[in-house]
Amino acid sequence: DTAVSQTPKYLVTQMGNDKSIKCEQNLGHDTMYWYKQDSKKFLKIMFSYNNKELIINETVPNRFSPKSPDKAHLNLHINSLELGDSAVYFCASSQGDGFPKFGPGTRLTVT
């Protein structure tokens, strides 16, 4: 199946820990994104990479660091997790001026 996949689907961790979320797309897209969806369902872009280069970096704490080892992967590493980081994180990808296709999401719960 051609898709955007994320692991893990659920992540429960304590404050202060460091965690990573992985994303892979097999669609051959050249652009990948991370979006955050809060408890009110509001979706906001965090980062965008085009051909492994960072092109969008919204006002996100520097505890969040994306890494793109290749065009098909965009991982999100979060240091020193805080309660406010609890949300659903979506990876997405697009090609050219096409619409972003979203992954299934990772629900992060910080306790």
Using CB under 8 A as the binding rule, whether residue 50 contacts other proteins is answered as yes
Of 19, 17, 60, 71, residue with least CA distance to 36: 60
Q: Please pick, from the candidates 4, 23, 74, 108, the single residue that binds other proteins as defined by CB under 8 A.
A: 4
Using CB under 8 A as the binding rule, whether residue 54 contacts other proteins is answered as no
- Strand spans (E) along the chain: 4-7, 10-13, 19-25, 31-37, 43-50, 53-57, 64-70, 73-78, 87-94, 101-102, 106-110
Task: Tell me the three state secondary structure of residue 7.
Answer: strand
**Cβ of 64: how many Cβ atoms within 10 Å?**
18
Using CB under 8 A as the binding rule, whether residue 57 contacts other proteins is answered as no
Sites for other proteins among residues 13-32 (CB under 8 A)? 31
**Interface segment toward other proteins; rule CB under 8 A; list 11-19, 62-70, 77-85, 94-102:** 94-102
Using CB under 8 A as the binding criterion, the count of chain residues that bind other proteins stands at: 26
Q: Please pick, from the candidates 8, 20, 26, 56, the single residue that binds other proteins as defined by CB under 8 A.
A: 56
Interface contacts to other proteins, rule CB under 8 A: 4, 31, 33, 40-45, 48, 50, 55-56, 90, 92, 94, 96-105
